Amino acid sequence: MMKRLINFLVKKPISVSVLILLQLSIIYMLIYQLSVQLTEFYFIIQGLNIFIVIYIINKNDNPSYKMTWIIFILGVPLVGGITYLMFGGRKVPKDIRTGIKELNNGQAILIQDQTIMNSITEKEYFRQARYLYDNTGFPVYKNTKVTYLSSGEAKFEALVNALKSAEKFILLEYFIIKEGYVWDTIKEILCQKIKEGVDVKLIYDDAGSKSLPYEFLDDCRACGIKCFAFNPLRPILAIYMNNRDHRKIAVVDGRIGFIGGMNLADEYINRISPFGHWKDVAVQFEGEAVYSLSLMFLQFYDHVSKEISDYSWYYGNPEKYDNVGYVQTFSDSPTDEEPVSQFSHLNLINSASRYIYIMTPYLVIGYEIIIALINAAKSGVDVRIMVPHIPDKKYVFSVTRSNYEYLTQNGVRIYEYLPGFLHAKVMVADDRIAIVGTTNLDFRSYFLHFECGALIIDDPSINDIVQDCKDTLAKCIEITYEEAKNVNFVVKLWRAILNMFSTLL
């Protein structure tokens, strides 16, 4: 029993959490003692709280986020302001902010072909593509083949086949890596490819991959994988621990690229089923748009490795495909204070004229998205949102369900994926435009995490996305307004309290 307790406590996430809580306890106890012993100190703290609240009110920030902190500061005045100074600013640390900003200069390599941009005839779609190019630097392409993969199993099979075909380089970036069949299979291929002379680079998020053993990095590097953990967990009181690398990117030889919801863990292909059937999706690209994915990865890699990559080496001379549609892969970063993913979702919702289907694991949305969804529904657009029926995080699921009543009352249709957990991140509208990527409909994805996605316009793959949404809807149960309204008062109160602090979840 004691040995198991020790093993539990020495795990990195637990030990880091314990040390952070210890630091907080010491700080809070010190503030309490000073407030009791020195009346002047107590009034200084209250004055500080007033200035912080005034600062928050006037700050150009998400209203829900501001309200949450104001409630907390006023509700716990002794430590509320101090806690905000430690955790509430949402500022990325200087080294990450400077590093990524400098590396973004590399995007000058990506020059938009204006004839392609101008050939997008739909005004709303042109504005969306133009917004992404102006604010992320990633251009629109035509010469790219798009394959929609409607399950984690399909993505895993395609990824394995692509990795086996590698001759020059492999780039992998994932939020979660867990030991098991998926990682063992991929690692075996990577180690073999290294023996064949292939350059293999891997980035994983240290918090997302918290279950990995301490020796994971050393084992990968011993095999020859150039492996790095993004934003390593440290037992310090720091805002930037909230900024996680939530992207999922894979590139092989500059020819084939993948993005989507699937991480490298067994539940994503239903080898294990902790939350029922796991539904995920991904997109495979072949052609010119893959280069954008390579640069996304390399910017991060150069930051974590402190190296300077030769971007031109990773171009790969991709095959040009004669397709009729448009593809624009893009990234979103908390370093630039531009909510690219949120604005892109808003643009797509507002541009829909007939229908919009949405798949998301979390529906933790603010006023802007709620009003856009309701406005679309009241304007005659068929708005359907699919979420899990079996959650991975019960408290977040409670916040998701807290939004049902207001949305369904105003015409938005909500569906829960009956077989289990829906992890896909998809928006598709009017048989013509879609966004598929890593961004959830929640505050963390919109404002705290590094994310990536793909805007797809008038491509044949749109038909596959629409069909997958219809197939998924057939496996869902619809939540009516009456069902959403007739919820036990205690449950409704609990959801309301959690929703009040949803931006901190």
In this prediction, residue 38 carries a pLDDT of: 84
Half-sphere exposure of 32 (CA within 13 A, CB side): 7
- Report the mean per-residue pLDDT for the chain: 89
Active site residue 246: yes
What does the alpha-carbon distance between residue 50 and residue 54 come to, in Å, rounded to a whole number?
Answer: 6
Beta-ladder partners of 278: 421
- Domain 94-325, architecture per CATH: 2-Layer Sandwich (3.30)
Active site residue 277: no
In this prediction, residue 102 carries a pLDDT of: 47
Active site residue 219: no
415 touches 479 (CB < 8 A): yes
Q: Which of 145, 279, 389, 423 is catalytic?
A: 423
Q: Which of 12, 66, 193, 246 is catalytic?
A: 246
Active site residue 423: yes
Q: Which of 245, 253, 266, 459 is catalytic?
A: 253
Q: Which of 145, 193, 389, 425 is catalytic?
A: 425
Active site residue 336: no
Q: Which two three-digit tokens encode residue 247?
A: 């992207």
Q: Which of 430, 442, 459, 464 is catalytic?
A: 430
Judged on CB neighbours under 10 Å (0-12, 13-18, 19+), 108 is exposed
Residue range 340-504, CATH number? 3.30.870.10
Tell me which residue has tokens 């101090």.
Answer: 82
Q: Which of 142, 178, 248, 345 is catalytic?
A: 248
In this prediction, residue 100 carries a pLDDT of: 47
Amino acid at 129: A
Contact residues for 59 (Cβ-Cβ < 8 A; gap 6+): 66
What does the alpha-carbon distance between residue 246 and residue 365 come to, in Å, rounded to a whole number?
Answer: 18
468 touches 280 (CB < 8 A): no
Beta-ladder partners of 327: 141, 456
In this prediction, residue 90 carries a pLDDT of: 57
pLDDT averaged per 10 residues in sequence order, the chain, 505 residues: 50 71 85 84 89 88 82 88 78 54 54 91 91 93 95 98 98 97 98 97 94 92 96 68 89 97 97 97 96 93 90 85 89 86 96 97 93 98 98 92 96 98 98 97 91 96 98 98 93 85 70
Backbone phi and psi for residue 245, each to the nearest 5 degrees, phi listed first: -90, 95
What does the alpha-carbon distance between residue 152 and residue 261 come to, in Å, rounded to a whole number?
Answer: 8
In this prediction, residue 13 carries a pLDDT of: 67
Domain boundaries for CATH 3.30.870.10 within the chain: 94-325, 340-504
What does the alpha-carbon distance between residue 373 and residue 379 come to, in Å, rounded to a whole number?
Answer: 10
Active site residue 248: yes
In this prediction, residue 239 carries a pLDDT of: 54
